């Protein structure tokens, strides 16, 4: 059960939570564990008015687990942070496809922690989709079929720069179950995404493309298991990549949207 000391209001009845009057940097260890449990159960957790430096962002994120590092940061930006930035020079923004962060890693991310400092006057929302409900709303026959499958997840071109590698061949693909089990809750979730999944291993190319398209449409049009977060300055949003996909709306050009993301290493996905 969710730690009762963490008060929140639901974003939708079954998905998403917004914390009420909290200061993350003052959380004790029990509250940090409660936050991890809340993210596992409700997928997305929003905290408003969180003023912190990049160093404080990293310090808090390290309490959530081991962090991925970005080898391409410039200046004094901590290596554990990924800069999220778009402005009048941007022709696209990161995260415009429905995806789970860097699922091409053999051990993909668990929790992501994004803090926005500058946001547009309107637009720039992030949409989130609950992969537990996405799985549970499929037919029983489709659920049983998908639980027998695995998929190859490939590194994409935009991740080449972020990784520091010189060519995509240096970044290996990873194979994960199409349905994975969350280690905290034991709930099953759909784990293929348009951003990184290349092919379902057990199917022919044509079969794989057709099934993935069906599943991607199910995710994109499944408004009953989605929520939308409107950013404000100093908003922090946590999402659990094991059970959540997200899509960043790039509808604010030429305004500025800027912040930092810390990403916690998860574990190798399994179905049990």
Enumerate the active-site residues: 99, 101, 246, 261
Exposure string for 236-271, b = 16+ CB within 10 A, e = fewer = bbbbbbbbbbbbbebebbebebebbbbbbebeebeb
Determine the straight-line distance between the first and last CA of the chain, rounded to whole angstroms: 20
Strand-pair category, 17-19 with 8-10: antiparallel
Q: Which residues contact 163 (CB under 8 A, 6 or more apart)?
A: 71, 155, 170, 171
Distance CA 209, CA 206 (A): 5
Peptide bond into 60 cis (omega under 30): no
């Amino acid at each position: 059960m969710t730690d009762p000391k963490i008060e929140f209001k639901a974003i939708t009845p079954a998905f998403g939570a917004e914390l009420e009057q909290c200061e993350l940097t003052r959380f004790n260890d029990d509250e940090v564990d409660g936050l991890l449990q809340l993210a596992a159960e409700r997928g997305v957790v929003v905290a408003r008015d969180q003023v912190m430096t990049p160093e404080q962002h990293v310090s808090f994120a390290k309490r959530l687990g081991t962090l991925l590092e970005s080898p391409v940061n410039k200046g004094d930006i901590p290596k554990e942070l990924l800069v999220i930035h778009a402005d009048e020079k941007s022709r696209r923004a990161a995260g415009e496809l429905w995806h789970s962060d860097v699922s091409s890693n053999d051990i993909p991310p668990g929790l992501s922690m994004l803090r926005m400092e500058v946001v547009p006057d309107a637009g720039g929302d992030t949409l989130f989709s609950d992969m537990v409900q996405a799985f549970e709303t499929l037919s029983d026959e489709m659920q049983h079929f998908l639980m027998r499958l695995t998929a190859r997840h490939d590194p994409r071109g935009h991740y080449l720069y972020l990784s520091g590698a010189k060519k995509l061949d240096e970044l290996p693909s990873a194979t994960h179950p199409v349905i994975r089990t969350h280690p905290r809750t034991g709930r099953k979730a759909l784990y293929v995404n348009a951003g990184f999944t290349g092919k379902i291993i057990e199917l022919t190319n044509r079969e794989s493309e057709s099934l993935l398209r069906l599943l991607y449409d199910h995710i994109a049009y499944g408004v009953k298991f989605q929520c939308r977060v409107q950013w404000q300055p100093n908003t922090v949003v946590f999402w659990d990549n094991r059970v959540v996909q997200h899509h960043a709306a790039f509808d604010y050009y030429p305004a500025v949207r800027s912040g930092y993301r810390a990403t916690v290493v998860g574990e190798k996905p399994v179905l049990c």
